Amino acid sequence: MKNFLKQQREVLSLVVYTLVIFVVVYFVIMPLFEKIKTTNDQVQEEILNQEISRKNIEELPKIQKQFESLNQGADLTLVLLDNANAVVLIEKLEKMAEQTNNTISITIEEVSVNDPKKKTPKLKAGEEVPIASELPSQNYLRLKIVLSGKYGSIVKFIGMIENFEYYADIMGIQISKNNEESQLQSISSGSGISNPFVLEMEKDNLMKKNSENILNASINVAFYLRNK
């Protein structure tokens, strides 16, 4: 009888130990890993944004010189956009998105035409100079391009923009994760759900979808226009 009770206690202890391990792994370690992964992704996105901004700022003087040299009698027909061809430009960008496996949405944000009579507004103390005022030409069409795709696909699209047939400057980029990440974090909390096995199945389904690492990127691009 004593041996039987001892065996039962050992079995019960093993079951309790296994349950404790499961609870710790499922409700502590796994959410912690997800939080670390999310933080790492945010850091990588911020590094990418800062690197692109730094690169654009460093290249502005070079682009300015190129633009000035082109304006000195060179043929600008092929490298500057005709404002009437905005639709053609959008079609080419949509084709580029298709080639790089991204979905795309394009919005015309601004059409700027240089006006010599227009005075530059004075900046207040500590106020940063707007990127648009530092562009080599004030004749430009500014587009907001929203991409959805994998990290490599978005980087490839940005590279194609930088080597586009028309002169253009990327004024800003914002990258964020898809909505599936927030759903995954919500499920990881486990609050209000009594069946952990159902929770695990739902999480596995989202993990499978999220394994593609789909990102959303908002890109502001200025395409320089021909002087009329």
Regarding predicted confidence, which is higher, 194 or 92? 92
pLDDT of residue 91: 94
DSSP 23: H
Q: Give CA separation, 153 vs 132, 142, 177, in Å.
A: 27, 22, 14
From residue 9, alpha-carbon distances to 3, 22, 23, 148, 180 in Å are 10, 20, 21, 56, 44
pLDDT at res. 218? 92
pLDDT digits (tens, 9 = 90+) for 92-117: 999 999 999 999 999 998 787 765 44
Between 222 and 48, residue with greater pLDDT = 222
User: Is pLDDT at 50 greater than 60 in this prediction?
Assistant: yes
Q: Across all residues in the chain, what is the average pLDDT?
A: 70
Average pLDDT rounded to a whole number, residues 191-208: 44
pLDDT exceeds cutoff 50 at 182: no
Predicted confidence band of residue 16 (pLDDT cuts 50, 70, 90): confident
Tokens of 47: 């590094």
pLDDT at 167: 84
Distance from C-alpha of 41 to C-alpha of 34, rounded to nearest angstrom:
10
The amino acid occupying position 224 is Y
pLDDT at 206: 45
Checking if the pLDDT of 223 tops 80, the result is yes
Please provide the distance, in angstroms rounded to a whole number, between the alpha carbons at the two ends of the chain.
102
Alpha-carbon span 204 to 200, nearest angstrom: 6
* One CATH from 3.40.50.720, 3.40.50.20, 3.30.70.60, 3.40.50.300 for 3-117+132-224: 3.30.70.60
How confident is the model over 135-149, as a mean pLDDT?
Answer: 87
Between 116 and 59, where is the model more confident? 59
- Percent of the chain clearing pLDDT 90 (strictly above): 15
Helices and strands in the chain, H and E counts? 6, 4
Q: Which two tokens stand for residue 63?
A: 């682009």
pLDDT band at 72 (very low <50, low <70, confident <90, very high): low
Of the candidates 155, 154, 133, 129, the residue with the CA atom closest to the CA atom of residue 142: 133
pLDDT for res 131:
59
Q: How far is CA 112 from CA 39, 90, 118, 133, in A?
A: 38, 17, 12, 11
Summarised one tens digit per residue, pLDDT across range 147-169 is 999 888 998 999 898 888 888 88
Return the SS3 of 216.
Answer: strand
